[in-house]
Amino acid sequence: MPLVSSRRTNSVSSEISAITLPNTSPTLPRASRLAQVLRHKIRDAPTSSDSDSLPKRQSKGGLYTESETWRRLHWDEQTRANLKEEVAHHRPLECFGVRQFRILLLGQIGAGKSSFFNTINSIYRGHVTSQANMGSAPHSLTTRFRAYEVRSSRGGDPLHFRMCDTMGLEESMGLDVSDIPYLLDGNIPDRHQFNPAIRITPDVPGFNQNPTLAKKIHCVVFVVDCSTVSVLSSRIIEKFTSIQSHVHQRGIPIIVLLTKVDTACPYVNRDLSLVYRSKYIQEKVEEISYKLGVPRSSILPVKNYESELELDTKVDILALSALRQMFRFADNFFDDQLDEISEHH
């Protein structure tokens, strides 16, 4: 019998007390049957080289200490006020003549695209609102392309961005990847009615043949439900990958919005300010980063308003910090446009 490593032998030995002997050879003495079981266990036990290739066991969750937090964010009312003010005054470079950033929200049905707009809109309205359709249904509740504005207050001036909401992605229905270039390039008018059975062509009503930079998309946001990261189908991932190809061709930055973090992690459910101390949420960030090929720094956890009736400071801070990062990425898009203009002169 070949020699085995002491580590494998110790591993097997520790299980002897828990061994249930097979009943296939009841006539054999107990010692003989025990030896037979051990031989099989030693043969099947992984070697050290085998164990290196085995998938790592994921942690069951838990929290990092405050000093170990994997991102830092203050959760007080002053931080909320500062973020709200910063977002309200952030605008595109004036030299382009573009008044508003255009942020395109893409994701599966029920992931929280419309809910994120409603959350941001609620912050500036001063109470929870539901302007965009939201809820759960077998197919997308969003059937029209909407370029939503957010105003500084009810009846106030529009802020310097629009959130472009779309039909949800589905495995066999929903938004078709072939429609994405028209959305990115600004060809599709606001309130365009999607038809899953008919692809977008230049013949659709209101099609913009020559869109300006102001009508094009400046940042794309993939919205993903945190609780579904591990079960994303290969078809949905394939759609995300195809969309990424169109987005990268145009030099548009991508952010992933990881929603419903409160339902994914019990610690975060009890206290949203623990989101960046949650080991489980960090694991989900790493997992979606690997699946979509997006840097972890581009993945932003959020919680949208869904059942609440009143605003919550921590919800607002997380949402506003995500929106601020979208603006910063959109700034990078305009910086690239500026560099391109400089190169041609």
Residue 103 burial (CB < 10 Å; 0-12/13-18/19+)?
buried
Q: What's the pLDDT tens digit per position in 17-70?
A: 444 444 444 444 544 444 454 444 434 444 433 333 323 434 447 999 999 999
Check: CB of residue 37 under 8 Å from CB of residue 19.
yes
- Tokens 């942690």 — which residue? 59
Residue 308's closest CA among 143, 130, 65, 152?
A: 130
Give me the mean pLDDT over the 98-103 stretch: 97
Dmax (CA) of the chain:
93
DSSP bridge partners of 106:
222
Residue 332 burial (CB < 10 Å; 0-12/13-18/19+)?
middle
pTM given for the model: 0.80
Return the pLDDT at 222: 98
Q: What's the pLDDT tens digit per position in 265-287?
A: 999 999 999 999 999 999 999 99
The b-or-e profile of 280-313 (16+ CB within 10 A means b, else e) is: bbbbbbebbbebbebeeebbbbbbbbbeeeebee
Sequential DSSP letters for 85-151: HHHHH----GGGT--SEEEEEEEBTTSSHHHHHHHHHHHHHTS----S--S--SS-S--EEEEEEEE
Q: Mean pLDDT in the chain?
A: 84
